[in-house]
Amino acid sequence: MRTMIEAAIAADVARDRDAAALRRRPLIVNESTGRKWEQSDFIHTFGEIRDAAKCVAIMRGDDDLAERLADLQFRDLRRTCIVTLGQLGLNDYTIGSISGHKQETIKKILEVYMPRTIAAAGRGVVARIGRQSENAAAKEKAG
């Protein structure tokens, strides 16, 4: 085993010396396949674990838990990040610069996931009143 590990390290070092061969190494590797985990792998595995937990809940007679487990969905943090940035008041273009998403995608995510809160409504009203006050002051100064 030691010989195999040392050989793998030596091969990595040799490969990394060649700038053209540099590549991004996966952070998480599937032990079964030896390949990097893709999002679809996480989604599939999450579904298997969720379904197994649901079966256990049913076998134990906990129908309420089984129903709640059946409703669980895999979620990543990309949408959460976009919504958080939106809640901070960043515009779509700034959010896209940070997340790398297209403008259409950001708009869709914010439309679906951005919470409609009293605080957000209040910020909008205050911003509108502020702009009206600025416009009135500018007209007064010009007139």
Domain extent, residue 112, equals: 78-143
Instruction: Give the tens place of pLDDT for each residue, 90-130.
Output: 999 999 988 888 999 999 999 988 877 787 778 778 888 87
Structure tokens at 26: 């996966």
Q: Cα 17 from chain centroid?
A: 34
Q: Count CB neighbours of 111 within 10 A.
A: 8
In angstroms, the Cα distances linking 38 to 12, 43, 99 are 22, 9, 19
Q: Domain ends where: 21, 48, 74?
A: 74
How many beta carbons lie within 10 A of that of residue 95, not counting itself? 23
The per-residue pLDDT for 139 is: 80
Dihedral, 11, 14, 18, 19 alpha carbons, nearest 10: 80
pLDDT per residue as tens digits for the range 64-91? 999 999 999 888 788 889 999 998 889 9
0.75 cut: is pTM over it? no
Among residues 43, 74, 105, the one where a domain terminates is 74
Same domain, yes or no: 63 and 122: no
Distance from C-alpha of 94 to C-alpha of 99, rounded to nearest angstrom: 9
Q: How many domains does the chain have?
A: 2
Query: Are 88 and 50 found together in one domain?
Result: no
The verdict on 59 and 89 lying in the same domain is no
Tell me: do 69 and 82 sit in the same domain. Answer: no
Claim to verify: residue 32 and residue 88 sit in the same structural domain: no
3-state helix, strand and coil shares in percent for the chain, rounded to the nearest 5 = 70, 0, 25
Tens digits of per-residue pLDDT, 26-73?
Answer: 667 888 888 888 888 888 999 999 999 999 999 999 999 999 999 998
Lowest mean pLDDT among 17-21, 59-63, 131-135: 17-21
- Does 67 share its domain with 13? yes
Boundary of a domain, candidates 55, 74, 93: 74
